[in-house]
Structure 1
Amino acid sequence: MRNISDIIEQYLKNILHESPEGTVEIQRNDLADQFSCVPSQINYVISTRFTLEKGYLVQSKRGGGGYIRIQRFELPQNVALYAHLNHTIGSEIDQSAAEGLIYQLEEACFLSEREACLLRAAVSRDCLTIKLPYRDEVRAKLMKAMIISLLGK
């Protein structure tokens, strides 16, 4: 059985998918009432599952009539994609940012689920048992080589 966070995440993704603008505005309290949970649960889902690294821009307005706006942005195509990856990865990348980028590539269907799993395993700190900052440098080189190879297929 899925937990409430998974259900809320899927609900928000479905709304985003159906939105012609790729944007959804929600009232945190209304959504919490809808799912019979506390508002902080909504905050948790949004802050952990709708991050910039995963391809989402989140804005909020507090106070009366406040809202949370979630906007999905698409990865650039072709040549721009390689420039985006080169810029995002840079000369070093930490595990969290690497996993976010892998997630974004998988969500945009540039990587299969299996390819994403292999990439995550290859760039994990459990696999790269090198001291910092070298670990982040090696991770960046691995990611660039592997992603370019996979996207060139």
Structure 2
Amino acid sequence: MRNISDIIEQYLKGILHESPEGTIEIQRNDLADQFSCVPSQINYVISTRFTLEKGYLVVSKRGGGGYIRIQRIELPQHAAIHEHLQQTIGESMDQTVAEGLIYQLEEARFVSKREASLMRAAISRECLMIKLPYRDELRARLMKAMLISLLGR
């Protein structure tokens, strides 16, 4: 059985997918009532599963009539992907950012679930057992090489 965070995430992704603009505005308290949970659970889901690294822009307006706006950020098309990778990855990349990029690429269906799993394994700190900052530099080079290979097909 899935937990409440997974259910809320899937619900929000579903309504985002149906939105022609790729943007939704929600009332935190209304959503908490809908799922019979505390509003902080909604905050948790949004802050951990709808991050910039995962391809989402979140804007929160507090107070009466406040809302949370979630917008899906689309990856550039194949023609601009190399430039995007160079800007996104740079010369160094920590594991959290790398995993976020892999997640975004998987969600956008640029890479398969299997390819994403292989990439996560290759860039993990358990695999790259060298000291910082060399580990983050090696991770960036590996990510670029894997993505250029995969996306160049």
Aligned-pair identity in percent equals 82
Q: For 1:3-152, list aligned pairs within 5 A.
A: 3-152=3-152
Task: Map Cα deviations across residues 25-56 of structure 1 (whole Å, 9 max, x no partner).
Answer: 00001000000001110000000000001100
**Letter of the structure 2 residue corresponding to residue 143 of structure 1:** M
Moved over 2 A (4+): none
* Offset of residue 152 of structure 1: 1.3
Q: Is the Cα contact below 8 Å between 2:16 and 2:72 reproduced in 1?
A: yes
Scaled by the length of structure 2, the TM-score of the pair is 0.99
* Offset of residue 79 of structure 1: 2.6
* Offset of residue 73 of structure 1: 1.1
2:88 and 2:79 map into 1 onto residues whose CA distance is 14
1:113 and 1:78 map into 2 onto residues whose CA distance is 19
Structure 1, 72-81 or 1-10: larger mean CA deviation? 72-81
* Offset of residue 80 of structure 1: 1.3
1:139 alignment partner, SS class:
helix
**Letter of the structure 1 residue corresponding to residue 97 of structure 2:** A
Q: Is the Cα contact below 8 Å between 2:28 and 2:42 reproduced in 1?
A: yes
Uncovered stretches (5+) of structure 1, i.e. residues with no partner? none
2:41 and 2:119 map into 1 onto residues whose CA distance is 30
- Give the alignment's Cα RMSD to 1 decimal: 0.5
2:60 alignment partner, SS class:
strand
Q: Aligned residue pairs: how many?
A: 153
Uncovered stretches (5+) of structure 2, i.e. residues with no partner? none
